[in-house]
């Protein structure tokens, strides 16, 4: 939506906003009031008297929230104002049913589990199915572990009857192994989302960079704060642009649960409460005893679905029903 859709917008304010990468109603709506205030305080935004001051910017922000459906309204109007949520297949019907249809837009879906549990396989399969079924959309794949494989994505696409090149052409691949870079990147991601009609953002994995950079207890608060900022921004993008955010997450041994016979308590997802509060749907993957290609998928946290479990297999098609 053009910034001119906002009734209190002036030429001066629009120009100042554009200097800060705020190019549309949506890209304004993802900002918080304090972020906007920061722009004025830090001197990024010049005061042009009445035409461009903080009061006017604040009013414009509220209108942007209203226009994108993040303002006070009747609960019965939510879908009409925000538009229909999109739903993408996970590659497995059992998992889709467990999730009430599949992976939804405007949500953060998290796959966690230990090494080899199938997190990346799930991300690749969702990517292939989403782009294979919807020819007009693109996806962003942020790779923090250097585990993205165009070869594997092609293989899954081919096995599922899609043209591999067609899928890779619409996958915007971003290697990211530095937390400052990730923050910068996420700050500008809305430009790519608008230009390429991005409807899915993958992050594999959300915590790898932070865990490598910030070692030890004393840096934990900073790491958690950074993670919170990254997730908040991703969630805002998801909400305003109707995008599905899918992240993978590692697990760590929980020394307090050494004698508890519950795999989720023994090895807990990293990111603690920050991830817990920001992810809408959380799935825990594990290998059953004996290993092989089977994986147990446990939906352990959802804001609208009951806890449940099902089994999938990893094959040349990526993740599919057992």
CB atoms inside a 10 Å sphere around CB 256: 10
Give the whole-angstrom CA distance, residue 60 versus residue 195: 23
- Contact criterion met (CB below 8 Å) for 88 and 102: yes
Query: Exactly one of 34, 72, 76, 115 binds ligand ADP (CB under 6 A); which one?
Result: 115
Contact between 120 and Mg ion by CB under 5 A: the answer reads yes
CB of residue 26 vs Mg ion: minimum separation in angstroms?
Answer: 31
Shortest distance, position 113 Cβ to Mg ion, whole Å? 9
| Binding-residue total with ligand ADP (CB under 6 A) | 13
DSSP states along 10-73 = -HHHHHHHHHTT--SHHHHHTS-HHHHHHHHHTTSSPP-GGGSSHHHHHHHHHHHHHHTT-SS-
Binding mask 259-298 for ligand ADP (x = CB under 6 A): ----------------------------------------
Binding flag, residue 119, ligand ADP (CB under 6 A) = yes
Assess 270 for contact with Mg ion (CB under 5 A): no
Residue 117 contact among ligand ADP, Mg ion, none, beta carbon within 5 to 8 Å by kind: ligand ADP
Pattern 144-163, binding to ligand ADP, x per CB under 6 A?
A: --------x--x--------
- 144 or 242: CB nearest ligand ADP: 144
Q: What is the dihedral of CA 165, 169, 174, 175, to 10 degrees?
A: 20
Pairing of strands 308-315, 294-302: antiparallel
**Of 91, 113, 132, 269, which one interacts with ligand ADP (CB under 6 A)?**
113
Beta carbon of residue 210, minimum distance to ligand ADP (angstroms, whole number): 17
Inter-CA distances, 184 with 177, 220, 229, 230, Å: 12, 21, 12, 10
The yes or no reply on residue 206 touching ligand ADP (CB under 6 A) is no
Left, alpha or beta for 163 (phi > 0: left; psi -120 to 50: alpha)? Answer: beta
Residues lying near ligand ADP in the complex (CB under 6 A) are found at: 113, 115-121, 152, 155, 314-316
């Amino acid at each position: 939506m053009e910034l001119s859709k906002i009734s209190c917008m002036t030429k001066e304010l629009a120009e100042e906003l554009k200097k800060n990468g705020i190019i549309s109603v949506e890209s304004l709506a993802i900002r918080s009031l304090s972020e906007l205030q920061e722009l004025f305080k830090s001197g990024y935004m010049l005061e042009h008297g009445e035409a461009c001051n903080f009061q006017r910017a604040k009013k414009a922000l509220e209108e942007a929230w209203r226009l994108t459906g993040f303002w006070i309204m009747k609960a019965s109007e939510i879908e009409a104002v925000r538009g229909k949520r999109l739903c993408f297949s996970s590659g497995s019907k059992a998992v889709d049913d467990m999730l009430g249809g599949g992976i939804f837009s405007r949500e953060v879906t998290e796959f966690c589990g230990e090494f080899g549990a199938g997190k990346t396989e799930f991300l690749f399969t969702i990517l292939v199915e989403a782009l294979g079924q919807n020819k007009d959309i693109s996806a962003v794949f942020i790779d923090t572990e250097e585990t993205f494989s165009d070869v594997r994505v092609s293989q899954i696409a081919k096995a599922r009857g899609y043209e591999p090149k067609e899928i890779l052409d619409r996958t915007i691949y971003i290697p990211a192994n530095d937390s400052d870079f990730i923050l910068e990147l996420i700050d500008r991601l809305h430009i790519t989302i608008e230009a390429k009609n991005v409807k899915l953002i993958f992050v594999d994995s959300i915590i790898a960079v932070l865990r490598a950079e910030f070692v030890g207890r004393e840096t934990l608060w900073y790491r958690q704060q950074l993670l919170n900022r990254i997730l908040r921004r991703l969630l805002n993008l998801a909400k305003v642009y109707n995008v599905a955010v899918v992240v993978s997450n590692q697990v760590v041994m929980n020394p307090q649960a050494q004698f508890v016979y519950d795999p989720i308590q023994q090895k807990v997802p990293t990111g603690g409460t920050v991830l817990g509060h920001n992810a809408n749907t959380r799935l825990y993957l594990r290998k059953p005893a004996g290993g092989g290609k089977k994986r147990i998928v446990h939906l352990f946290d959802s804001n609208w679905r009951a806890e449940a479990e099902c089994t999938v297999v990893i094959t040349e098609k990526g993740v599919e029903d057992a």
